[in-house]
Amino acid sequence: MFDLIIRNGTVVDGTGSARFKADVAIKGDSVVSVGKINGEAASEIDATGKVVTPGFIDLHTHSDNSFLIDPHADSKLTQGVTFELMGNCGMSYCAPLNENNIDGFKERTDKYDPNYQPGWSTMDGYLTALEEAGSTINVAAQVGHGTVRRAVMGMETNMPSPEQLDQMIGLFADSLDAGALGMSTGLWYSPGSYSLADEIIAVTQPAADRGKLYSSHIRSEADDLGGLFPAHAEAIEIGRRTGARIQISHVKAVGPKFWGRGYELIEGMERARTEGIDVAGDQYPYEWSSTGFSGAMFARWALVGGRQATLDRLADSDTRAQVRADVTYYINRNHSAEGCVVASFPPDQSLEGRNLQDIADEWGCEPEEAALRLYEQSEGNYVLHSMELKDIDAIAKWPLMAILRWLIVA
Ligand SMILES: [Zn+2]
């Protein structure tokens, strides 16, 4: 007697072998038989015309607080996701926490539950809280460089002093020993963008020493900052120097200069692997990317010092004009203002789903001015039409590329 039999489905077992028709029997929490099953079960599902697979692994999420607030995770379960790796892009905004970075946690959590108070400061405490909250799916945490750097140095743009670097390394080591599965960087975002490669090598060593993962939202995915290919090479170099296992996050070729060159990213990773560097990647298979208003639109200098400092710059008309000039560049580098669509804007949800050109027309201003006014009200999210299908295909075909399905992204 089985607990459950899923009959007549087409099984895709995740090993890479060809799909086949079979019944699947489950007892307790294990698959105990696959094939033609004659036995009986407490319940049965007829999966005729449907695919039966193991649960999907989502290697790149930002759900760090989600399971504390809603452990049922219906949005993921109904998409078939049974495992999430959180804490990506340098943002483990739930831990470690102190007075320097707690606003990152509040910003992310207030929109769901303004009364939620974290009862921990360490990764250990956070993981305990996660376990106590319970979750319908398996989750694992990573410790983020941006979060740790802010905890130690606030939003300072300089290199860490030897003491600060030691403190950061200690926070990484403690978080990994507490159970984080890896560490991540977001070198395109502030404060990750303020770091040099030397700092990243130093803070990645604890993960390398423990055989854990280094996930990186690389320094550039387009023609900003150092540019896509040097940034990609930097992630591989971190693996070469430290021995860490490298996961390049959401591999993509953004912007007209790089459209059509996605396959070169795969070639670079293959060459690194023949050299013995354990590098792999993940991808969200869409032509649209998504990120915060400031991350999408603002030059890095305009973000130094955090949100209040940026708002102060916008209050000064000369500086505002300089910020606006850079915003113009960011808007126009892909598919212009029509390709910038508001995905989330808590103060006025009626703007969600509308593009920047459309909003600017209604407000009687230029799109870049609309972008500034939106940011002045709140840090929301855009989706940006920034990629091309031929690159998405070339990247998706690589066997070591994990494909992601996201509802909430960054
Ligand atoms: Zn990212």
Å from CA of 188 to ligand 1 middle: 8
How many folded domains does the chain comprise?
A: 3
Laid out side by side, the sheet with 56-58 consists of 56-58, 81-85, 138-140
The pTM of this model reads: 0.86
Pair (115, 161) in one structural domain: yes
State in Å: Cα 89 to ligand 1 middle: 4
Is the domain of 160 the same as that of 64? yes
Same domain, 48 and 64: no
pLDDT values of the chain reduced to their tens digit, one per residue, 410 residues? 999 999 999 999 888 899 999 999 999 989 999 999 998 999 999 999 999 999 999 999 999 999 999 999 998 998 899 999 999 999 999 999 999 999 999 989 998 889 999 999 999 999 999 999 999 999 999 999 999 999 999 999 999 999 999 999 999 999 999 999 999 999 999 899 999 999 999 999 999 999 999 999 999 999 888 899 999 999 999 999 999 999 999 999 999 999 999 999 999 999 999 999 999 999 989 899 888 999 889 988 998 888 999 999 999 999 999 999 999 998 998 889 999 999 999 999 999 999 999 999 999 999 999 999 999 999 999 999 999 999 999 999 999 999 886 444 33
CA pair distance 386, 256, nearest whole angstrom: 9
Q: How far is the CA of 147 from the centre of ligand 1 (A)?
A: 14
| Domain co-membership, 266 together with 361 | no
Q: How far is the centre of ligand 1, averaged over its atoms, from the C-alpha of 409 (Å)? A: 8
Please report the pLDDT score of residue 166 as a whole number.
98
297 and 246 together in one domain: no
Residues 108 and 230 in one domain: yes
Please tell me the distance between residue 91's alpha carbon and the centre of ligand 1 in angstroms. 9
Q: How far is CA 226 from the centre of its chain?
A: 21
Edge-first strand order for the sheet with 182-186 is 142-144, 182-186, 213-217, 245-248, 279-283, 401-403
Q: How far is the CA of 287 from the centre of ligand 1 (A)?
A: 15
Instruction: Determine the distance separating the centroid of ligand 1 and the alpha carbon of 23, expressed in angstroms.
Output: 39
For position 154, which CATH number holds? 3.20.20.140
Cα(345) to centroid(ligand 1), Å = 19
Instruction: State whether 236 and 301 are in the same domain.
Output: no
Query: Are the beta carbons of 70 and 76 closer than 8 angstroms?
Result: no
How far apart are alpha carbons 130 and 148 in whole angstroms?
A: 19
**135 in the same domain as 75:** yes
171 within domain boundaries: yes
CA of 168 to the centre of ligand 1 (A): 21
- Compute, in angstroms, the gap from residue 92 CA to the centroid of ligand 1: 12
Q: Please give the distance, rounded to the nearest whole angstrom, from the Cα atom of residue 326 to the centre of ligand 1.
A: 21
Residue 88 is assigned to a structural domain of this protein: yes
CA distance 218 to 177: 25
Q: How far is the CA of 113 from the centre of ligand 1 (A)?
A: 24
Query: What residues are neighbours of ligand 1 (ion), with CB under 5 Å?
Result: 89, 217
- My answer on whether 355 and 273 are in the same domain is no
User: Using DSSP, how many helices (H) and how many strands (E) does the chain show?
Assistant: 15, 17
Residue 408 within a domain: no
As to burial, measured by CB atoms within 10 angstroms (0-12 exposed, 13-18 middle, 19+ buried), residue 107 is: middle
- Rounded Cα distance, 141 and 126, in Å: 10
CA 322, distance to chain mean position in Å, is 30
409 within domain boundaries: no
Do 357 and 329 belong together in one domain?
A: yes
CATH of the domain at 19: 2.30.40.10
What DSSP element (H or E) covers 340? strand 340-344
Helices 317-332 & 307-315 angle (0-180, nearest 10): 110
C-alpha 273 – ligand 1 centre gap (Å) = 23
Residue 160 CA, ligand 1 centroid: distance in Å = 23
Handedness of CA 301, 367, 231, 243 (dihedral sign): positive
148 Cβ contact list (under 8 Å, min separation 6): 92, 96, 168, 171, 172, 175, 203
Q: Which residue carries 């960011």 as its tokens? A: 330
Closest to 193 in 3D by CA, of 149, 141, 237, 236: 149
| Same domain as 31, residue 85 | no
Tokens 């991350």 belong to 295
- Tell me, rounded to whole angstroms, the distance of Cα 4 from its chain centroid: 35
Asked if 90 and 96 touch (Cβ cutoff 8 Å), the reply is no
CA 108 to ligand 1 center in whole angstroms: 15
Same domain (yes/no): 155, 264: yes
E strand or H helix at 281, and its extent? Answer: strand 279-283
The phi and psi torsions of 169 (rounded to 5 degrees) equal: -60, -40
Range of the domain at 18: 2-53
Q: How far is the CA of 231 from the centre of ligand 1 (A)?
A: 13
Distance 381 CA to ligand 1 centre (A): 13
